[in-house]
């Protein structure tokens, strides 16, 4: 495996396989259900194996000497126009190798799960087609070495999410949700697009790594940081912020998070795959990929404003989403808000400079969030499409396997100590937040977020699994095809913690380069912080059990928390009226603009057009009348008079030579008179 010439083939093969699967299922007969699912699962499994091979290759190559990270970039010219040409490229480095493995593995599991879940659905084949398309887009996004290729795949991912959210197009809610998701992500993408163009115009290239001339390489970065733009802001910061808009839109950060809860209208595997593990992670991946751009600043000590912005946005989103999650009653909505807050944590980690922390939290979160969603899915499947947690309860007896797996996911998410990956990743983030020089507020926000996470997860567990069944249906355990992926995910959530403990920070060094060595003692390095977080988690669980565990929950009655702080609860239930706020401002403005445009359209342009039409018609009938009256009649008049005079003259020529001679004679006389007497 010495030479790396075969790497580019693998790199481009990984995305193309799912694309091929999508193509075939799209063209094939929708009734071939087995063909669609088989193809998709097959292509994803091969992609997973190839990803593993590449992962081993990257790990095998090691970090090389001097902490240099393994990086291979393969660029090719897409098309040429005039002197310049547009170049795209593929890239392999530890960051996307890990992601590739995670995405393909999780995707594979979800596909297997959805075979069971979507069994009764009529558009089975179409669902798998869309999944394959989504996988192609996500994998393509990961391997992209050029911002343009990334952007293309980014859009395709948005398209896939739109298609999958609106899969059950008969439900108007689903259609509205898909449209809302698509539009809000588009708003973010606009920022990304502007940033891309700006970068291209400034640096002349869109490739990340191009043998020194790439976007993220030192020379270009130096150029970008030195040039100042409006408001004295460094160019790199400005473009970074624009790219972050795109990331915020896609990952559902604070201003643009409204679409994620509504996206739950789609089928549960979709929510699991897209709105938990992969797509939402794309934003974080983008920030990680473009981290050098974000971090670029004139003097190394000062943390670039871009990173600060990312940090603040991340922290705020984490706390904000967690608060709302507390007051939700729909099982998938709670998980949606928890995803938003966890993404906030990832952005926070990246903002603080910890790429490996952020990435590790992302991968871990992918596993246990996918697990939770699929668990919820099997719960819903079991309760026959009931999603309201108040109508559930006591399911641990009816669905013991799902309960066990769901519990593992819950504990990983809320960060139970030591055993679960969630704890270690959160630990690292808190550690970074603690040492952040700028301000310590994000640290406290993070702590409060962790507490809230623990609280709403226990509330959900109690509502769903403890107490007695309050629903009308008879819940039943999901079939093995659904529970096996759950178990795999659960084991994944647990085993991942091994590679990121301070004792053996392998993942950290894998991502950020540097030698890795195993020493068990280092596990207690930041013990103070670990103790604090353990206390927080414990109190969260306790309060949760105290509020909900002790008395029988009722379907219609007020929530326990609601009884304590009813107005705050209602606000949180209504998602802090963000939607209404948007509705009131942006949408109304939009509608106003629409009306103005419509008025403008009908009054001004329509008027202008009709005016022009009227003028034309007027001119034409004017010319017609002129033509008819003036020319025709005049001409006819002329002809008749001519003919008349012609007739009169003709009468003179009557063949009588004597009259002729008479005229000649008189002519002669006149001439003679004229000349004689002249």
Partner 1 sequence: MIGLPLFLILSTMLFSLGLFAVLTRRSAILLLIGVELMLAAANLNFIAFWRFGPNPAAMTGALFVLFSIAVAAAEAAVGLSLILVIYRHLRSTNPKEVNSLHG
Partner 2 sequence: MNSLFEIIAFLLIGSLTLGAAVAAVGLRDTVHCGLSLAVVFVGVAGLYLLLDAEFIGFIQLLVYVGAVAVLVMFVILITRPEDGVIQQPDRRRQKLPGALIAAGIFLVTYGAIMQSPSLRRDVPEPAALSIRAVGEALVSGHLLPLMAIGVLLTTALIGAALFAMEGEDGK
Exposure of 441 in the CB half-sphere (CA atoms within 13 A): 11
3-class secondary-structure state, position 139: helix
Dihedral angle sign, alpha carbons of residues 197, 198, 204, 205: negative
3-class secondary-structure state, position 23: helix
- Taking the complex as a whole, the smallest distance from the CB of residue 664 to partner 1 amounts, in Å, to 10
3-class secondary-structure state, position 76: strand
Among residues 612 and 669, whose Cβ is nearest to partner 2? 669
Q: Which of residues 657-676 bind partner 2 (CB under 8 A)?
A: 658, 662, 665-666, 668-669, 672-673, 676
Question: Which candidate, 106, 74, 102, places its Cα nearest to that of 90?
Answer: 74
79 — phi, psi (to 5°)?
A: -155, 160
* Residues 26 and 19: beta-carbon distance below 8 Å: no
- Taking the complex as a whole, the smallest distance from the CB of residue 657 to partner 1 amounts, in Å, to 6
The contacts of residue 638 (CB under 8 Å, 6+ apart) are none
User: How many Cβ atoms sit within 10 Å of the Cβ of residue 295?
Assistant: 18
What is the x/- site pattern for partner 2, positions 610-649, by CB under 8 A? ----------------------------------------
Among residues 68 and 656, whose Cβ is nearest to partner 1? 656
Helix extents (H) in 28-146: 33-61, 94-117, 124-143
State the chain's maximal CA–CA distance in angstroms: 151
Among residues 211 and 655, whose Cβ is nearest to partner 1? 655
- Taking the complex as a whole, the smallest distance from the CB of residue 619 to partner 2 amounts, in Å, to 60
3-class secondary-structure state, position 78: strand
3-class secondary-structure state, position 578: helix
**By CB under 8 A, residue 656 contacts partner 2:** no
Among residues 5 and 654, whose Cβ is nearest to partner 1? 654
Among residues 80 and 656, whose Cβ is nearest to partner 1? 656
- Taking the complex as a whole, the smallest distance from the CB of residue 659 to partner 1 amounts, in Å, to 9
From partner 1, partner 2, none, interface partner of 673 (C-beta below 5 to 8 A by class): partner 2
Among residues 81 and 674, whose Cβ is nearest to partner 2? 674
From partner 1, partner 2, none, interface partner of 586 (C-beta below 5 to 8 A by class): none
Among residues 552 and 657, whose Cβ is nearest to partner 1? 657
- Taking the complex as a whole, the smallest distance from the CB of residue 673 to partner 2 amounts, in Å, to 6
Please state, in angstroms and rounded to a whole number, the distance separating the CA atoms of residues 454 and 538. Answer: 8
- Taking the complex as a whole, the smallest distance from the CB of residue 665 to partner 1 amounts, in Å, to 6
Question: Which candidate, 401, 399, 573, 554, places its Cα nearest to that of 463?
Answer: 554
92 forms beta bridges with 72
Among residues 479 and 665, whose Cβ is nearest to partner 1? 665
From partner 1, partner 2, none, interface partner of 672 (C-beta below 5 to 8 A by class): partner 2
Please state, in angstroms and rounded to a whole number, the distance separating the CA atoms of residues 619 and 626. Answer: 10
From partner 1, partner 2, none, interface partner of 656 (C-beta below 5 to 8 A by class): partner 1
- Taking the complex as a whole, the smallest distance from the CB of residue 667 to partner 1 amounts, in Å, to 13
Question: 84: part of which helix (H) or strand (E)?
Answer: strand 84-92
- Number of residues assigned to the chain: 678
- Taking the complex as a whole, the smallest distance from the CB of residue 677 to partner 2 amounts, in Å, to 8
From partner 1, partner 2, none, interface partner of 676 (C-beta below 5 to 8 A by class): partner 2
3-class secondary-structure state, position 40: helix
Q: How many residues bind partner 2 (CB under 8 A)?
A: 10
From partner 2, partner 1, none, interface partner of 657 (C-beta below 5 to 8 A by class): partner 1
From partner 1, partner 2, none, interface partner of 479 (C-beta below 5 to 8 A by class): none
- Taking the complex as a whole, the smallest distance from the CB of residue 677 to partner 1 amounts, in Å, to 17
Please state, in angstroms and rounded to a whole number, the distance separating the CA atoms of residues 267 and 167. Answer: 8
DSSP 291: H
- Judged on CB neighbours under 10 Å (0-12, 13-18, 19+), 552 is exposed
Among residues 201 and 654, whose Cβ is nearest to partner 1? 654
User: Where does this chain bind partner 1 (CB under 8 A)?
Assistant: 654-658, 661-662, 665
513 — phi, psi (to 5°)?
A: 80, 175
From partner 2, partner 1, none, interface partner of 5 (C-beta below 5 to 8 A by class): none
Among residues 56 and 670, whose Cβ is nearest to partner 2? 670
Structure tokens at 121: 């659905």
Please state, in angstroms and rounded to a whole number, the distance separating the CA atoms of residues 103 and 110. Answer: 10
- Taking the complex as a whole, the smallest distance from the CB of residue 658 to partner 1 amounts, in Å, to 6
From partner 1, partner 2, none, interface partner of 655 (C-beta below 5 to 8 A by class): partner 1
Report the interface residues with partner 2, using CB under 8 A: 658, 662, 665-666, 668-669, 672-673, 676-677
């Amino acid at each position: 495996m010495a030479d790396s010439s075969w790497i580019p083939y693998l790199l481009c093969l990984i995305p193309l396989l799912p694309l091929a699967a999508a193509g075939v299922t799209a063209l094939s007969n929708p009734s071939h259900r087995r063909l669609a699912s088989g193809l998709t699962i097959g292509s994803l499994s091969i992609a997973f194996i190839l990803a593993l091979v590449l992962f081993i290759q990257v790990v095998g190559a090691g970090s090389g000497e001097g902490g240099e990270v393994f990086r291979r970039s393969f660029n090719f010219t897409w098309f040429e126009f005039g002197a310049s040409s547009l170049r795209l490229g593929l890239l392999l480095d530890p960051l996307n190798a890990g992601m590739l493995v995670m995405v393909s593995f999780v995707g594979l599991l979800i596909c297997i799960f959805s075979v069971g879940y979507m069994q009764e659905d009529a558009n089975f084949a179409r669902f798998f087609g869309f999944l394959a398309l989504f996988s192609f887009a996500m994998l393509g996004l990961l391997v992209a070495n050029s911002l343009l290729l990334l952007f293309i795949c980014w859009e395709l991912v948005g398209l896939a999410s739109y298609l999958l959210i609106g899969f059950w197009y008969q439900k108007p809610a689903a259609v509205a949700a898909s449209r809302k998701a698509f539009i809000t992500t588009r708003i973010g993408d606009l920022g990304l697009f502007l940033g891309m163009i700006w970068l291209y115009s400034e640096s002349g290239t869109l490739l990340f790594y191009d043998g020194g001339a790439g976007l993220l390489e030192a020379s270009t970065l130096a150029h970008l940081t030195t040039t100042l733009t409006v408001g004295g802001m460094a160019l790199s910061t400005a473009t970074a912020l624009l790219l972050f808009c795109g990331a915020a839109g896609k990952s559902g950060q604070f201003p643009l998070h409204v679409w994620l809860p509504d996206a739950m209208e789609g089928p549960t595997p979709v929510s699991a795959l897209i709105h938990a593990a992969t797509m939402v992670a794309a934003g974080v991946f983008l920030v990680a990929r473009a981290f050098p751009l974000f971090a670029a600043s004139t003097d190394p000590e000062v943390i670039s404003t871009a990173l600060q912005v990312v940090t603040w946005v991340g922290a705020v989103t984490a706390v904000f989403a967690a608060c709302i999650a507390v007051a939700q009653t729909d099982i998938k909505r709670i998980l949606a808000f928890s995803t938003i807050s966890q993404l906030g944590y990832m952005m926070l980690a990246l903002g603080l400079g910890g790429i490996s922390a952020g990435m590790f939290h992302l991968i871990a979160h992918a596993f246990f969030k996918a697990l939770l969603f699929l668990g919820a899915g099997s719960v819903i499947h079991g309760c026959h499409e009931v999603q309201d947690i108040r109508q559930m309860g006591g399911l641990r007896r009816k669905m013991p396997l799902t309960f066990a797996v769901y519990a593992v996911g819950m504990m990983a998410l809320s960060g139970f100590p030591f055993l679960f990956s969630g704890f270690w990743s959160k630990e690292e983030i808190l550690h970074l937040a603690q040492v952040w020089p700028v301000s310590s507020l994000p640290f406290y926000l993070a702590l409060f977020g962790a507490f809230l996470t623990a609280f709403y997860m226990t509330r959900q567990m109690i509502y769903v699994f403890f107490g007695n069944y309050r629903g009308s249906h008879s819940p039943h355990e999901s079939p093995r095809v659904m529970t096996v992926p759950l178990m795999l995910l659960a084991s994944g959530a647990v085993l991942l913690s091994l590679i990121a403990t301070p004792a053996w920070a392998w993942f950290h060094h894998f991502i950020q380069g540097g030698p890795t060595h195993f020493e068990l003692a280092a596990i207690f390095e930041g013990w103070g912080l670990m103790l604090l977080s353990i206390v927080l988690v414990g109190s969260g669980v306790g309060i949760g059990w105290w509020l909900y565990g002790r008395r029988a929950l009722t379907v219609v009655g007020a929530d326990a928390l609601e009884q304590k702080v009813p107005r705050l609860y209602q606000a949180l239930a209504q998602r802090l009226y963000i939607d209404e706020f948007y509705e009131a401002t942006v949408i109304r403005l939009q509608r106003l603009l629409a009306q103005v445009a419509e008025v403008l359209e009908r009054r001004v342009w329509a008027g202008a057009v009709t005016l022009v039409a009227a003028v034309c018609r007027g001119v034409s009938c004017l010319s017609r009348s002129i033509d008819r009256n003036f020319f025709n009649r005049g001409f006819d008049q002329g002809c008749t008079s001519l003919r008349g005079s012609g007739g009169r003259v003709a009468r003179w020529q009557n063949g009588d030579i004597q009259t002729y001679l008479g005229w000649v004679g008189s002519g002669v006389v006149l001439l003679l008179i004229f000349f004689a007497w002249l």
